[in-house]
Amino acid sequence: MPYIAQVEEMNKRFQAEKGYAPKYIILTYGCQMNEHDSETLAGMLEKMGYEKALAENEADLILLNTCCIREKAESKVLSHLGELRKLKKDKPWLIIGVCGCMTQQKDIVETIRHAASYVQLIFGTYNMHHLPEYLAQILSDDSNCYNIFAKEEEIVEGLPAKREYPFKALVNIIYGCNNFCTYCIVPYVRGRERSRSIANIVSEVEALVHDGVKEITLLGQNVNSYGKDLKDGTNFAKLIAEIEKVRGLKRVRYMTSHPKDFSDELIEVLKKSQKVPHYLHLPVQSGSSRILKRMNRGYSKEDYLELIRKIKEALPDIAITTDIIVGFPGETEEDFQETLDLVRKVEFDNAFSFVYSKRPGTPAAVMEDNVSAEEKKERLARLNALLAEFSHKKNQAYLGKTEEVLVEGLSKNNAETLMGRTKSNKTVIFSGDEALIGKFIPVKITEAQSWILKGEVAL
């Protein structure tokens, strides 16, 4: 890429003048797709001679990789941009950039320019790979570069990535979404579904394993839709079966699944798999068929329960988590009771529960919302109490068992302990040597709380 070499040259001159290589920091908001995009952005920046900064005040380039799924995420970005004003004043050469889902929304460039005129770089999700070109322009003439592509392009393969962990990696298999759930902004900011070829995915996984990766997570807004656009008979079940063959790979996770596209063929592949743990995140969003229809989810409560029945029949020890939205426009107490009923029937291991957040530009944003804020809050509290009950019950079943855990790092709340995940994606905290990070080890579970397990190394 000529622009990479051009920026690298400019950064060498920066280093000669200032006595240090320019530093970057990426602040990532939102989901794992964004986390993975940030790894790609970091990979490109390091190819251009940037070094990672440990704090914002050390950086010469600050990129905010944004999310717009909830209103809160957006206001967080705007308020953080306000906080960066002083840094820009103290360091005039600092480049502040905004990218990611939020920038693909209508009028957002104007909003950012109005709120923070010192933001020099704005680009969208479809043109992320043009970052070297935009930096070359800004570094040449200190101009602003605001460039949002209106439409998705071909998938760009082979971009460099700076992975956060040496032993586990995120691998995109499909971009975009065709579902248009009425509350969701994703199809408008990430475009239509585009699947990568099995050959490209498998060769990326092989290269990762060669570099020491033991666990991969296959990513997509709807992984179960993988391959439909390729129109050659490829599907997610076939992809898993191919990835399963990669020697040296130990665990394959995937996210996110959509109930309406979860096939019997996939259940069969999962049943035979030696590498896909018995763990599934299957967003249900509501237990009321009436609300599911208003959400345009493409399944009813009964369909979801039938799918869970089939999955549990094939994989009796599977751990299942979900996403639930409370207070969707028009949700009555009866609808909410249907959700509680579904939670009781499925007995989820864990769930992400949210109060409905209106996203301008989506069909749900213009639906009449007759549920008061207090009512929504109160329903969320009731739902969370029920979810905690099941999570606690499920975790209790691990007491005394020895689980294979991939040690991911130091515990966030106590740097003297380690944190890892079981096959079923349960977080386990335990004491141990830092040398265990990145290894699969047996851990005996000694304590089960509602959201975490505690244990001791059983080597």
Strands of the sheet containing 215-219, edge to edge, are 168-172, 215-219, 251-255
Q: In 3D, which of 432, 337, 428 has the Cα closest to residue 386? A: 337
Whole-number minimum distance, CB 344 to ligand SF4, in Å?
Answer: 24
Provide the 8-state DSSP code for 161. Answer: -
Q: Give the nearer residue to ligand SF4 in terms of CB position, either 127 or 179.
A: 179
Whole-number minimum distance, CB 256 to ligand SF4, in Å?
Answer: 7
Q: Give the nearer residue to ligand SF4 in terms of CB position, either 125 or 222.
A: 222
In contact, 216 and 253? CB cutoff 8 Å:
yes
Whole-number minimum distance, CB 294 to ligand SF4, in Å?
Answer: 13
Whole-number minimum distance, CB 277 to ligand SF4, in Å?
Answer: 22
- Measured CA to CA, the distance from residue 47 to residue 127 in angstroms comes to 18
Provide the 8-state DSSP code for 313. Answer: H
Which positions lie near ligand SF4, rule CB under 6 A? 177, 179-181, 184, 186-187, 221-222, 258
- Measured CA to CA, the distance from residue 318 to residue 354 in angstroms comes to 24
Given the structure tokens 């995120």, which residue do they identify? 170
Q: Give the nearer residue to ligand SF4 in terms of CB position, either 140 or 263.
A: 263
Number of alpha helices (DSSP H) and beta strands (DSSP E) in the chain: 13, 19
Q: Give the nearer residue to ligand SF4 in terms of CB position, either 222 or 288.
A: 222
- Measured CA to CA, the distance from residue 299 to residue 24 in angstroms comes to 45
The SS3 of residue 320 is strand
- Measured CA to CA, the distance from residue 429 to residue 417 in angstroms comes to 7
For residue 280, which phi and psi values (nearest 5 degrees)?
A: -140, 130
Whole-number minimum distance, CB 43 to ligand SF4, in Å?
Answer: 25
The SS3 of residue 53 is coil
- Taking the alpha carbons at both ends of the chain, their separation in whole angstroms is 48
Whole-number minimum distance, CB 258 to ligand SF4, in Å?
Answer: 5
Residue 90 is encoded by which pair of tokens? Answer: 């103290």
Whole-number minimum distance, CB 298 to ligand SF4, in Å?
Answer: 9
Q: Give the nearer residue to ligand SF4 in terms of CB position, either 30 or 49.
A: 30
Q: Give the nearer residue to ligand SF4 in terms of CB position, either 177 or 255.
A: 177
Residue 45 is encoded by which pair of tokens? Answer: 């920046």
Describe the chain by its helix, strand, coil percentages, rounded to 5. 40, 20, 40
Please report, to the nearest 10 degrees, the dihedral formed by the alpha carbons of residues 384, 388, 389, 393 taken in order. Answer: 150
Whole-number minimum distance, CB 253 to ligand SF4, in Å?
Answer: 18
Whole-number minimum distance, CB 181 to ligand SF4, in Å?
Answer: 3
Burial class, 97, CB count within 10 angstroms (exposed 0-12 / middle 13-18 / buried 19+): buried
Q: Give the nearer residue to ligand SF4 in terms of CB position, either 47 or 194.
A: 194
Given the structure tokens 């908001």, which residue do they identify? 29
Residue 212 is encoded by which pair of tokens? Answer: 């020491």
Q: Give the nearer residue to ligand SF4 in terms of CB position, either 181 or 364.
A: 181
Q: Give the nearer residue to ligand SF4 in terms of CB position, either 196 or 258.
A: 258
In the chain, the amino acid numbered 247 is R
Whole-number minimum distance, CB 224 to ligand SF4, in Å?
Answer: 10
In contact, 252 and 244? CB cutoff 8 Å:
yes
Residue 102 is encoded by which pair of tokens? Answer: 């939020």
Whole-number minimum distance, CB 383 to ligand SF4, in Å?
Answer: 19
In contact, 145 and 120? CB cutoff 8 Å:
yes
Q: Give the nearer residue to ligand SF4 in terms of CB position, either 45 or 342.
A: 342
Q: Give the nearer residue to ligand SF4 in terms of CB position, either 130 or 258.
A: 258
